[in-house]
A and B are shown apart, each in its own frame.
Chain A
């Protein structure tokens, strides 16, 4: 069965420090993975998707099929990065359903 695991519910880093939010997935098919971000009391926003291989707001994420991981990284955390981050797996099929992890709350300490 498909599953997305974000092992850290809470993560705190100092401003300027590197940050890595972990995401592991379980899926027998070819995965498509996304990161969504939710700033305080705002809507969820798409941050990036692995097929684009893009860097958004300094964040990158590489799909590692061997380790079934899609960790989100940023070399120098900023205060405005404090938010809730969700990793999501798109499952192909009738409805292209999305499965979300339980989220990681990132706090960047000034």
Chain B
């Protein structure tokens, strides 16, 4: 059963620290999404890539968030500096041709 793997599972950090979340998409999938889930906003799209190229990152606060795909097996989402309002669960999802996506288990980020 192919899975999208996200690390770390949980992260607690102090305000101002850099946070890096990692995602290993399912082999062969050409589209990768980053979503943020909060109680108030539900699921928000932060960024997505197709064939490793960023197609849309308009959902991300550009001054502190950055998303990259250094290779086909790794996607990263970085926050620098982190703030308490960034506390949320961050999901990565991968798929092929937009047919329906497989989500990772998420990274639960708490910024204190």
Contact = CB atoms under 8 A, between A and B. Distances in A.
A46 B4 CA distance: 13
Contact of B31 (A36, A92, A95, A103): A95
A57 interface: no
A11 B103 CA distance: 24
Helix, strand, loop or mixed for chain B's interface? strand
Contacts of A98: 33, 45, 98, 101
A96 B97 contact: yes
A95 B53 CA distance: 10
Given A95-B55, A97-B56, A49 B93 contact: no
B50 interface: yes
B41 A46 contact: no
B25 interface: no
Contact of A43 (B42, B45, B91, B98): B91
Interface residues of A, number: 21
A31 interface: no
Interface string A44-73: 111001000000000000000000000000
Contacts, number: 54
Contacts of B35: 100
A43 B2 CA distance: 13
A49 B100 contact: yes
A102 B42 contact: yes
Contacts of B42: 86, 100-103
Given A36-B103, A43-B103, A102-B42, 9 more contacts: A43-B106, A44-B43, A94-B55, A95-B48, A95-B50, A95-B55, A97-B48, A97-B55, A100-B43
25 contacts: A43-B4, A43-B91, A43-B103, A43-B104, A43-B106, A44-B91, A44-B103, A45-B103, A46-B101, A49-B100, A90-B98, A92-B98, A94-B50, A95-B31, A95-B48, A95-B98, A96-B31, A96-B97, A96-B98, A97-B55, A97-B56, A98-B33, A100-B42, A102-B42, A103-B43
